[in-house]
Amino acid sequence: MTDEAQFHLDGTVNKQNCRVWGEENPHAFMVQDEQTPSLTVWCGVWAKGIIGPFFFEERGHGVSVTAARYCGMLEDFVVPELRRLRIARRKVWWQQDGATAHTARAALTKLEGLFPGKLISKGGSVQWPPRSPDLTIPDFFLWGYLKSQVYSTPIRSLQQLKRRVRAAMRAAPEHMVQEALAALPVRLRKCSRLKGGHMEHVLLRA
């Protein structure tokens, strides 16, 4: 399972996957500084741990993810990492969300070439439901855990932010990743029973 997340220098946390369920509109809003430096971080989760991080940046500054940059990351980072970890590409099932950069024609063509018949994605070999953070390990577990570690104390520079992200990923306990993986089938069955409806309780264990 693969995903990207924004890490802001000031510790602002992206709430895009947080939802409030209620009978009345709370009319809540959050104020943040749009100019705060940030980095877009990619990682992948597999049976034996975390692959990454990869930082989308140019000349030391964070940049947005485009199809071209995503394809470059696949070729220049993912393929060498799989080789280094001795993971045979023919055995890899690649899952991603429906972000535009992921599902652009160029990105899908690249991914189908790397993982023929094993692309779990909008427009891929196996369709993946949109807006499904309850079913994606980076969303329901990894990003929250990493940000709690990265922002435990204030950060003063993007270089320090990168060091924190790398250290947090290296230190992530293997048993926590394994528990998140074990919880996934339970989540899938619950989502199926609810026909894609709201999952009231977060499931951490199988």
The pLDDT profile of the chain, 206 residues, written as one tens digit per residue, is: 999 999 998 876 554 445 555 667 767 665 555 567 889 999 999 988 899 999 999 887 889 999 999 999 999 999 999 999 999 999 999 999 999 999 999 999 999 999 999 999 999 999 887 777 778 888 888 998 999 999 999 999 999 999 999 999 999 888 888 888 888 888 888 888 887 776 665 544 43
- Show the domain range for 126: 2-173
Closest among 112, 133, 131 to 123, alpha carbons compared: 112
pLDDT at 164: 95
Distance, CA of 103 to CA of 198 (rounded, Å) = 26
pLDDT at 190: 83
Question: Is position 48 within any domain?
Answer: yes
pLDDT at 129: 76
Question: Is position 206 within any domain?
Answer: no
Q: Are 56 and 73 in contact (CB under 8 A)?
A: yes
Question: Is position 197 within any domain?
Answer: no
Indicate the pTM of the whole model: 0.82
Question: Is position 185 within any domain?
Answer: no
Distance, CA of 42 to CA of 101 (rounded, Å) = 13
pLDDT at 66: 96
Q: Are 53 and 165 in contact (CB under 8 A)?
A: yes
Structure-block tokens of residue 98: 């429906």
pLDDT at 174: 85
Question: Is position 187 within any domain?
Answer: no
CATH code at position 166? 3.30.420.10
Question: Is position 116 within any domain?
Answer: yes
Question: Is position 198 within any domain?
Answer: no
pLDDT at 183: 85
pLDDT at 184: 84
pLDDT at 20: 56
Question: Is position 90 within any domain?
Answer: yes
Structural domains in the chain (count): 1
